[in-house]
Structure 1
């Protein structure tokens, strides 16, 4: 299938920020072909059915569920094969899949689980799909990270969220920010653009249903907010902040220090 539409792959897109991003992009323009990445096709198809039942008359861009588990190399490789045979390229990769370990477990298990998804999976997915990104005329990679991964903010005694727990999660996001920085530098050699994006404290399924309720009760923002910010980025409304300024792109404005 040859297409002049912008091919966008969003990982972890069957819920939370990823799901809202797919919805917002589809509503914004008919010029996308959106790939809804989920760990299983059942979850992806269920997410698409949910989207269509609520937003069907407002959807402008087509949406295709695909199975991609960032911790499973076979699903990553099958995604690469599908993209190559169907579109011949990838224009935008939004690395949204992430995890926070909330159940009690040994620190080593926590670290392995957290880094497997938040860091190792992100690196492998991008590496595997880079040849397809290189075939795009405007390749872009967005890592959905967190200001909690900012070492500068962590050491700032005035930082308002300095007492938020979760060392393992913060470590993984600091590593993800370094990955984004490395890819930003390396991809410039062939014209690729890379940024690290802070979605803020919003309502997601990242910490399960209990955590979701806690976020709602605590006044967390809707996942629609970062989704709208991601649409603005892809529409070219924040080019300097996203692709040139040094730091973690904030959903509202400006960048946070690395």
Structure 2
């Protein structure tokens, strides 16, 4: 049934192109062949290349947590390896190393967030609006988690002398707990995000507008999701309609330029 709908959808599209070209009295000059026009309109699916960045960020985060545990256990809590730690860290205080590493990790997360945001904006411009909205919240969570972790670490480090006075090395234990909890939450969010990206890349869907037109062509009684339904959020409907209008305007602009270029090429030929 799906193949029949796809075939019918393709045939309807071809007919529309032919009719719009034949019936338009404003076209002057040689007509663009149907095969050339379709090859221009159809775009190759571009995979979202953010999953490898998730792997790199997760690896760096795990390395940082392991280093923090080793430093705090052997250089911060225990006094048996003071000489070795001083030589290994080149005289830098172990607490300073942990905090500098945390700042460096946050910078890496910020770069990752900008990288992901750039590619998701490109996905939105290509018309995959549902996927953009699906991952809009979860893709920003790692940066929020790390920022909240930084605030929690500062809250523990500032009164560390008071905490250690009541319970020995209490600030160290709280610091390790925050770092490990931050790793757990961040990995969960990154794994969920990776699942969405891998499903999107393996499915290779058409833009949302094309998918809705195809489903509408398969069933005349079906309705697209751009209109308002009972139980749907009016804000979501308005946002989706605005995204669709923006995508269609960009798509029509690009398509018009390409058609004019092909027409000019045929005239010169």
Q: Would you say same fold, with TM above 0.5?
A: no
Normalised by the shorter chain, which TM-score bucket?
Answer: under 0.3
- TM-score, normalised via structure 1 length: 0.24
Structure with greater helix share of residues: 2
Question: Which entry has the higher C-alpha Rg, 1 or 2?
Answer: 2
